[in-house]
Chain A
Amino acid sequence: MADAARAQGTGENGRANFSALLGLAPILLFLVVFLVGPIWVNLLESLKEPGGAQGLAQYGRIFFDSYYLTVIAQTLIFGFVVTALCILLGYPLGFAVARAQGTAKALLMLVVVTPLMVNVVVRSFGWMVILGGSGALNAGLTALGLPKLELMYNWTGVTIAMVHVLLPFMVLSVASTLEMLDRRIEEAAAVLGAPPARIFWHVTLPLSIEGIVTGGILVFTLAIGSFVTVLLLGKTSTMVLPLLIYQQLTTSSDWPFAAAMGITLLVIVSLTLWAQSWLHPRAMRARR
């Protein structure tokens, strides 16, 4: 009797699992066609060697050449610096957006979101006009009798433009987390005599870490995958992996090498995200 009930239960579970899988089928199909499929095609392309053989020669070109290793390191450092700057600038702005009311909030949101409405190429040309040797900033400095600054065609210009491009992602992420925060917790801390700085450090900041982490992931992955801003505002020395991929696809037309670099970039992003997901809970526990 019990066996029959168990069997019936198992059968129902099986049917439920099957129904759940059936419900997920469109999403799974979408993932296979638009995510796994292209990655698989890319992986196969990266294994092509000159002469039609299959192997890891393209990866050898990347990992046994100090130039490409330097570019990988530059790409990562660039991603981390842009992310750090976006956190530093984006948190206060996100805080202001979250705590603002009415028209002020709408205006702040408009200021934050507007850069996203402008094409990345147009934005980059805008930065050229501002930061260039004869640009608005240097014209102002010259008028004040100050020396000109070299802000274009180096890491400074590329970083400024990239932070401008990606800052909204951090601001919106932090603001949405802070808006969900129960203000009564901060009020309780204040009632118990905590000064504002202490409330921020021990209550607000820890409770908004999720927003910083989410924004950080978005900014980092977008930063190390961008090439248009680096192409227009950088020069040969400010090389990053996505720009090399673009060059291999367009000028060199070396698709297997471009595919190998693409897979390398994908693995780097995946490892960074895995490290972040592994470190984050531990950091939170240590803080508690």
Chain B
Amino acid sequence: MKKRTLVMATILTATIAGVGVGFAQNSAKPDKLVVAAYGGIWAESVRKNFVPCFEQKTGIKVEIITGESADWLAKIRANPANPPIHVVALAEADSLRAGREGLLEQATVAKLPNLADIPDQFHKPWNDYSVTQNIGALGVMYNKSVIKDPPKSWREFIDNVAAGKYGKRVSMPAGTYTWGPEFIWLISQQYGGDVDMAFKKLKEASKYVVKFWNTPVEALNLFGTKEVDALVYWDGRSISFIDKGNDWAGFYLPGPKTIAGLAMLSKVKNAPDVAWQYINCALAPENQLKHAETILYAVPNTKVVYPAAVKDKLAPVDKIEVPPYDKIFDKFGGWIERWNKEMR
């Protein structure tokens, strides 16, 4: 009896101590905060626009690690009790996965005051486990000397490609790209939400597609070397390319709406609580504006007022649609498999 009591007492003490240690780890001031950011200009913007605000407020240094969404998800999955990354910037689908798996912590206005200025569509579909940092919009970059009158709608664009109007000089995202399933959904919306029709149309178009691209860099390489005259691509990257002296290129968002590519900020579960302060800095109107000016993607904070020169380059939020992830997310695996089998 005494022995059992002793064992129980030991377990209880250890549990309380464990909880205490865990709590202390979350609330204590860490040596550094580890933040994930996409490479290149994204990481540069994080370093320039978000980090100083956080370091000034907390005195804690920020370590930025660059990479890709799936890579970060794997890292926080591998060590959920002691996550190697404290703030992640996952893609939409990975954010949903991480939220469902209990790897992220839900945001509230109490923890994250700037959340109050973010419209619901940029955090509610993720059950507040993630908040949008910036909004990319998928459009068409084209060679102005070859395509004089680009079609106004997505449907017309796809039909033209399938009819060979631009020859075999087109490139689009692959269904297997990170935002590939969203692209399939976008095409389906142009045909009454019919996914079978989307696959049929894309199959017809594939005869004139040089390559369904898998990485934004290879896509830009195809367009930059003039291998293609029309490229379905992200707005910020396209405008940066055009601004670098490539006046021969144009960019527009076909209607009626296009899909958003969102970078979703999340505090990883068991990360130090001070991570909320970093996310709050990233969502603050002044820092959001600086971020938009650096990477040329729109930002979700409603208090941001863009200067005219920047506003012209950013996708208007009313032209963007966030796919209904709660309805389509579980179909992604099937769509990717179908893409591999049919688009050969």
* A positions within 8 Å CB-CB of B: 67, 125, 128-129, 132-135, 152-153, 231-232, 235-237, 239, 244, 247, 249-254
Q: State whether B333 touches A252 (Cβ < 8 A).
A: yes
Which 10 pairs of residues, A with B, have the shortest CB-CB distance? A250-B70, A237-B344, A236-B343, A252-B333, A247-B176, A67-B341, A153-B211, A252-B336, A236-B344, A132-B227
The answer to whether A128 and B225 have CB atoms under 8 Å apart is yes
Is B94 part of the binding interface, using a Cβ–Cβ cutoff of 8 Å? yes
Bound-state Cα–Cα, A10 to B149, Å: 91
Whether, in the assembled complex, B278 has its beta carbon less than 8 Å from a beta carbon of chain A, the answer is no
Q: Given the known inter-chain contacts A252-B336, A253-B70, A254-B333, please indicate yes or no for A235 contacting B178, CB distance below 8 A.
A: no
Complex interface residues of chain B between 193 and 239 (CB less than 8 A to chain A): 210-212, 214-215, 218, 221, 225-227
| B225-A236 in contact (CB<8A) | no
Assess the A251–B225 pair: CB atoms within 8 A: no
Q: State which of A128, A129, A134, A236 has its C-beta within 8 Å of the C-beta of B212.
A: A236
Does B325 count as interface, using CB distance less than 8 angstroms?
A: no
Q: Is B79 an interface residue (CB 8 A)?
A: no
Give which listed residue, A128, A236, A254, contacts B340 with CB less than 8 A: A236
Q: Count residues of B near A (Cβ-Cβ below 8 Å).
A: 32
Q: Are B227 and A235 in contact (CB under 8 A)?
A: no
Interface residues of B in 323-344 (CB under 8 A from A): 332-333, 336-337, 339-341, 343-344
**B99 interface hit (Cβ, 8 Å):** no
In the complex, how many angstroms separate the beta carbon of A136 from the nearest chain B beta carbon?
10
> B333 to chain A: which residues have CB within 8 Å?
252, 254
Contact call B210/A133, Cβ cutoff below 8 A: yes
**In contact, A134 and B227 (Cβ under 8 angstroms):** yes
Contacts of A67 in B (CB 8 A): 340-341
Beyond the given pairs A132-B225, A251-B177, 8 more chain A to chain B contacts, judged by CB atoms under 8 angstroms and listed by A's residue number, are A128-B218, A128-B221, A134-B225, A232-B214, A232-B215, A236-B174, A252-B336, A253-B93
Q: A125-B221, A232-B215 are in contact. Are A251 and B336 (CB under 8 A)?
A: yes
Distance A232 CA – B212 CA, assembled complex (angstroms)? 10
What is the CA–CA distance of A253 and B76 in the complex, to the nearest angstrom? 14
Chain B residues within CB distance 8 Å of chain A: 68, 70, 73-74, 93-94, 97, 174, 176-178, 180-181, 210-212, 214-215, 218, 221, 225-227, 332-333, 336-337, 339-341, 343-344
Residue picked from A133, A237, A244, A254, most chain B C-beta under 10 Å = A133
Number of A-B contacts (CB under 8 A): 63
Q: Is the CB of B70 within 8 A of A249?
A: yes
User: What residues of A have a CB within 8 angstroms of the CB of B177 in the complex?
Assistant: 251
A135-B174 in contact given A251-B180, A253-B70 (Cβ < 8 Å): no
> Can you list 22 pairs linking A and B with CB atoms under 8 Å apart?
A128-B218, A132-B225, A133-B210, A133-B227, A134-B225, A134-B226, A152-B211, A231-B214, A232-B214, A232-B218, A235-B212, A236-B343, A247-B336, A251-B70, A251-B178, A251-B180, A251-B332, A251-B336, A252-B332, A252-B333, A253-B93, A253-B94
Say whether chain A's binding surface is mostly helix, strand, loop, or mixed.
Answer: loop
CB distance from A235 to the nearest CB of B (A): 6
Chain A residues contacting B211 (CB-CB under 8 Å) are 152-153, 235
Residues of A within 8 A of B174 (CB): 236
Bound Cα distance A237, B343 (Å): 8
CB-defined contacts of B225 to chain A, threshold 8 Å:
128-129, 132, 134-135
Decide if A244 touches B340 in the complex (CB within 8 Å). yes
Shortest distance from the beta carbon of B103 to any chain A beta carbon, whole Å: 12
Task: Report the minimum CB–CB distance from B323 to chain A (whole Å).
Answer: 15
Given the complex of chains A and B, what is the CA–CA distance between A236 and B210 in angstroms? 11
In whole angstroms, what is the CA distance A236 to B227 when docked? 18
Among B68, B181, B212, B218, the most chain A Cβ lie within 10 Å of the Cβ of: B218
Nearest chain B CB to A261 CB, angstrom units: 12
Residues from chain A with Cβ under 8 Å of B214 in the complex? 231-232
- Measured in the bound complex, the distance between the Cα atoms of B143 and A134 in whole Å is 15
B340 touches A239 (CB 8 A): yes
- A152: chain B residues at CB < 8 Å are 211
A133–B177 Cα distance when bound, in Å, is: 23
Nearest-Cβ distance from residue A157 to partner chain B, whole angstroms? 11
State the CA gap A251–B175 with chains docked (Å).
Answer: 9
Q: How far is the CA of A232 from the CA of B213 in the complex (A)?
A: 8
B334, closest chain A residue (CB): A252
A-chain residues with CB within 8 Å of residue B343 when the two chains form the complex? 236
Chain A nearest CB from B319 CB (Å) reads: 26
Give the CA-CA distance A239 to B177 in the complex, in Å.
14
- CB of A253 within 8 A of CB of B340, answer no
Q: Residue on A with the closest CB to B94? A: A253
Distance in angstroms from B100 CB to nearest chain A CB is 11
Minimum distance in angstroms from A166 CB to a CB of chain B: 21
Residues of B within 8 A of A249 (CB): 70, 74
A153 to B343, CA, bound (A): 13
Determine the distance from Cα of A153 to Cα of B181 in the docked complex, in whole angstroms.
22
Q: Within the assembled complex, what's the spacing in Å between the Cα atoms of A152 and B226?
A: 14
Contacts of B340 in A (CB 8 A): 67, 236, 239, 244, 247
Residues of A within 8 A of B97 (CB): 253
CA distance A239 to B214 in the complex (A): 13
Task: Give the distance in Å from the alpha carbon of A235 to the alpha carbon of B206 in the complex.
Answer: 11
Bound-state Cα–Cα, A254 to B339, Å: 16
What distance in Å separates the Cβ of B119 from its nearest Cβ neighbour in chain A?
A: 27
Chain B residues with Cβ below 8 Å from A232 are: 214-215, 218
Residues of chain A within 8 A (CB-CB) of B341 are 67
Contact A253 B73 (CB under 8 A): yes
Which residues of A lie under 8 Å from residue B176 when comparing CB positions? 236, 247, 251
